[in-house]
Amino acid sequence: MNTLIVYAHPEPRSFNAALREVAVDTLHGMGHAVVVSDLYAMGFAPVVGRADFLTQHNPERFNVSLEQRHAVAHGGLAPDIARELARLQAADLVILQFPLWWFGLPAILKGWIDRVFVSGVSYGRSTVFENGKFRGKRAMVCVTTGGPAQSFGPDALNGDILDLLMPLHRGVLGFTGMTVLPPFTCFHVPYEGDAARRQMLQAYRSRLGELDRLTPLPMPRTDQYPGLLVHGQRPCAQ
């Protein structure tokens, strides 16, 4: 089993770093091969643009999807994208490890998705959800929050963590066919002391040991939407 951990935190001494290390150690102990993409340490560039490609499909008008498809056909993905995409393709389990910033992904991680989930490789016109290119892979979010647990929930001030993560779970991971495991969430982290932090790390160890017994999040199926044009025929620039 190959695991890819995509880790997005600027501080090497952070609790997020400790969670990452727990995952590396635990998964190694389970016999997994583990690769970590430490986006901050790599200086990963998160902005989609012409520099994503060695090739050029249309010099007049830049359309991300069309340039991606052209680059895939002609070996023209920039080296950093090609490397991350190869890691993603080789992974049986993908863990996204990040602090919740403004109720979403840190920009560096959103940009990893924007650039690495290449059109034609991670999805196609009718190859999404149950027909997705990445079916067979499992994905899990490991996220920390500043807000306390009671501030998250369907009727709580910050909304439910599953609703906040829905665009990621469903729109990225499920969309590409991955089996999405329930997120592992550590609440109120900046305000917790060592004892509580140790408990959270131990809970993460336990969680990683029971991945096979978790019930995945429900996802839509395209065959529930017959006649829906998932993607049209003639894309040009949005």
CB nearer to a copy of itself: give 72 or 129: 129
From 26-34, 75-83, 133-141, 154-162, give the range in contact with a copy of itself by CB under 8 A: 154-162
- Tell me if 64 contacts a copy of itself by CB under 8 A: yes
Least distance from a copy of itself to the Cβ atom of residue 192, Å = 9
Query: Which residue in 3, 4, 7, 15 binds a copy of itself (CB under 8 A)?
Result: 15
Which residues on neighbouring strands pair with residue 4, listed in sequence order? 35, 94
Q: How many of the chain's residues bind a copy of itself (CB under 8 A)? A: 73
Residue 111 CA, chain-centre distance (Å), reads 10
* 184 contributes a contact to a copy of itself by CB under 8 A: no
User: Given the DSSP bridges, would you call strands 2-7 and 138-144 parallel, antiparallel or unpaired?
Assistant: unpaired
Burial class (CB in 10 A: 0-12, 13-18, 19+), 156: middle
Among 101, 205, 211, 214, binds a copy of itself (CB under 8 A): 101
Position among 29, 136, 167, 209 found at the interface with a copy of itself (CB under 8 A): 167
63 lines the binding site for a copy of itself (CB under 8 A): yes
Instruction: State how far the Cα of 37 lies from the Cα of 84, in Å rounded to an integer.
Output: 8
Place of tokens 């993607």: 231
Half-sphere exposure of 139 (CA within 13 A, CB side): 24
Bridge partners for 101 per DSSP: 104
| Residues 119-148 close enough to bind a copy of itself by CB under 8 A | 129, 144-148
